[in-house]
Structure 1
Amino acid sequence: MIDDRKDLPSPDSPNFLGRVREVLQTYMGSQGDPLKRGVMIGDLTDAGIVALRPGYKGGKYPIAGIGDAIGTGLQGPAGPPGPATPYEPDLTPPPTPTGFAVSSAISNIFIEHDAPAYTQGHGHARTVVYGVVYSGGALPVFDDAAEITEFNGTVFAYATNPATTWHLWIKWRSVDGVLSATPAGGVNGLTTTTGQDVSKLVLAMTGPGNPFTVVPAEVTLPDGSVVPAGTYTADAFIHNGQITNAKIANLAVDNAKIANLSVSKLTAGSIAVGQYIQSTSFVSGSSGWRIHGNGTAEFANAIVRGAIYATSGTFTGTLNASTINGGTINGTTVSASTINGGTINATQLNSVYVASAYITGAQLDIYGDGGTGYGYIRNVGKWWGDGNNGWVFSRNGNDGSVFAEIKAGAGRIWMASWGDYGIQFPGILMTGGGLTISQVDVINTLNVAGNAITVPVAVYTSGGFAPVAGVWTSAQAVGFNCSGGAIQVLGLVNFFPEGGAEGSSPGSCVLGLYRDGAQLQVSNTTAPGNLVGMIVDYPGAGYHVYELRVITGGASGTISNRTISLLEVKR
């Protein structure tokens, strides 16, 4: 039990029975802060925090270990975090309580106030009661009082001794833990006095032969007991009576008609309600609860241990369950170990297993199977690499590995985080090892990017010049940025001796192909006419200069129509 007290009150302390009762009521949860009540093993097993030993029938050690709510869990892995929205407490004090009233019986004082409807501090949480016992002298003020209890609702009974005068004040405490700045009760508090212990007074004032006694003025008995003025009788039989005020320690009534009843605790075998019963804090759509006589009800929260049967319903928040079976399931968030539904409409769906004919959702997240295996979404009968038509998308909840596959007939697309991926269609296969096209007539030149396979470069000059006989002379040159493929080099010149007229006196000319100043090829000695040189070169990637050079012999002549053509073949 969590309580401010570390032990029970001493047996000889004032109001011992009342204090013990208060401690036990707090422990049982019938008064005080609900979070301070005692927790039983049954509470822990109901919540799934602990599990009982199999076959447990009694004994000192019922707990076998942690329960499902902590062990395997029912919710599965948490979804990705959304935008941070930290809770902002409201430290505005609640207002001073209204409708504060006190009254008393013989062993209890009753504390009442209006239903709190304030919104400061995110609304009402508890009512805190302050009090001081008055036995004479100067009237007490709030600073003299101590906190004696707190409660929910608008009516509370506080156990005390008979013939005791109390001065009382109350404050409201918000959900954010802030108290009213000013207490209700005024300067000296509200005053109430519990009734006398009538059984002792009647025993002292009556006896054999004297069942009825009238005391005209207050009397003090030898034991110090004070007997107020009044009429005393051990037993009274009244056919018809009218009573303005009464303090009754124990009342048994066969039939009662009461216009207004305030009770701290009501125990009944059955209650028939024509209109409704409700909590004092009930505001439709906002707080509290109400049950109507026609069967409709409204609650803020509810825990149902058994079955729920309904013909229809709407969930706008989160629905958590071990198994959900339904024809149509609509919800903002639906969470369950197993969900079976003909149609599922959800903004967020959390489940280890889902079976549905139709699912619509704004977001579908797969984190795993709730343990260390693969969580997945797929069509029935499909799995990774099984050769079956269908699709599967999966994620491992332990190491985060993922895979996906779609297969329809001869077409297949697959990928996995461990490096296995590819696309396959008839005649085409692309994997990490490259692209293979085995079908003919599937690619034409319009589908190939320019310069993707070959790159041409050519230079032509028509004008002629007269080289120096016996000396290698440059006739044409071109620079080229090679990507690393083979280059087909073609050179062509026209040679005409003695001024260039065809049929002039004989002479000779030799054509040479050069790259970066190095000779690659030399043509045969040629009489007047066309000289041609051709070679396939592998220069390597980079910038290179190709050149045509000529050398003449015999009679001088003219070189014209000089052409050099390069064609790089990349593949």
Structure 2
Amino acid sequence: MIIKSLKRKNVATVPSGYSGQERRFAQSVSEELDTLSGRRGNVIDRAVTFRDLLSTGVLRSSKGILGNGTEVIGPNEDGDGAGGGATQLPTKPDNFNATGGFGVIFLEWTLPEYVGHDYVEIFRLRKNNPTDPTPTLAQAQAVGVYTRYYGDLMRFTDTNVGNQENWYYWIRAVNIDGVTGPFESSAGVNATTALDYIFVSGLIDSILDDDINSLGLNTTLGAIDSTLTSVTNINNAQQAKYAVKIDNNGHVSGFGLLSTANDSTPTSSFVVAADRFAIAAPFNSSAADVTAVGTNIPFKVFTTATNVGGVSVPAGVYIQDAFIHNAQITTALIRDAAITSAKINDLSADKITSGNITIDNSNNIAIRQGKSFFNGTASGFFLGNLNGAGVFNLGDGTNFVKFDGTNLEVTGASITEASIGTLKIQGEAVTAPRSTGGSVSTTFGGTNREICNIPFTMPAIGAGQSAGVMVLGTVNCFSSNSTGTSVRIKIFKDNTQIGSIGMTWASDGVSGCALGKTTQGSGGSATYRLKASCDNNNGGSSTKAGTISGTLLILVGKK
């Protein structure tokens, strides 16, 4: 017996904002769930479900336990893409790409369709140093499968990565029989995670602290309230520094240039200690706008928060125009952005508009392809909002499934098997059966005895339609009396008989049914009755003591 792998959704990725102990805990939980679901490690280590036991024949189920029964995955029933048929060999993945982000690496690929697809295996290896040999596929296979992807989007986000780590990846498809396909390539793809600002910023701060201490910009000049000083110091070519600082009642500011040896290699630092720092265009007396320095200040730095004209200005760097070739941003607030290509791990937005997607806070939501609006007849789909109601339209102008928020319209449908509680076609052309039951114990003779009845009001009939009523009555007759007689089952509409059947009723009982048909106008009401009587048409007794139980069923048809 083979336990066939079942499709399972991806475990949610560890949020990139997690760090330290909480990130390690979340990763350990994610890895354990991946192992139990069969997406990581050896497939024999995954958890076994009741579906696995049912599919292998270890257990058998009854519909009474599982409702509609269990759908066992067979070799011709599962798989994405090319429809039914015998399971095929897995195809080779294409267009495999890896992109590094902050604490994540995005993987994406395409997979040609084949019958019986189950999942995609992902292998990976890390290149620890730039000078290390490039990892190989053989090495990755020796380590084992990193994870298994069961989704249909052919995208995977690896969050089990660190800062500036270089990882290599390889993928291949596996069908429901456990047969593996070819790898996308032996070289694989690789990506490096982005530089983490918080980590690097801490290192930079420690270096700048040493420079500020060395320049003396964090010390006062004694009891002098306001002093300007310039210090130049060259110490045997091992260290040179130049600093200017101002001490205004203990508020020390200034700038300094320091050159010192770092592991026998000269390095330099330029430090400005000030509440505000700016780079401005120089004064130009020949310019049309002759003003002091400050007309054009493209770069401004506030090291401490301040208040300008009653407006609070937080500490930060303020740039009027920036031209950045490669930027790494931990958190960005962008008022207006034009982005050519974006890879986003987690997106939260008030409004999204693209060629095929429109989402905003004005109750205007649409996801579409082929159709530009809800009632479009072009081949495609439209899923969205129309007049405050959720709607969809799938298909073309001839064959489609359409829901306008109230009514579902289907054309060109072919249904092999359906289980429907109540079926209503336009104008209630078909109404689900209405039934009742009852029983009578007595001595039956020539007088009709009522078994049960159904009051019925005809639903509204559409223009150009006609309606008919079919009534079916079924009975079971029981008696300890061995005398044979004839029993007649009759169906009445109010007091008018519309159907009957006669049967011989002996000691062992008898069962039968009568069918009646009639018409009933729109909104009209009538009571349909099931009755029974005995006579001696067969030459026997004209009476019979016993019990007759019956069921009356009504079916309305319109056309």
Same fold (TM over 0.5): no
Q: Between Structure 1 and Structure 2, whose CA radius of gyration is higher?
A: 1
What is the TM-score when the length of structure 1 is the normalising length? Answer: 0.39
What is the TM-score when the length of structure 2 is the normalising length? Answer: 0.40
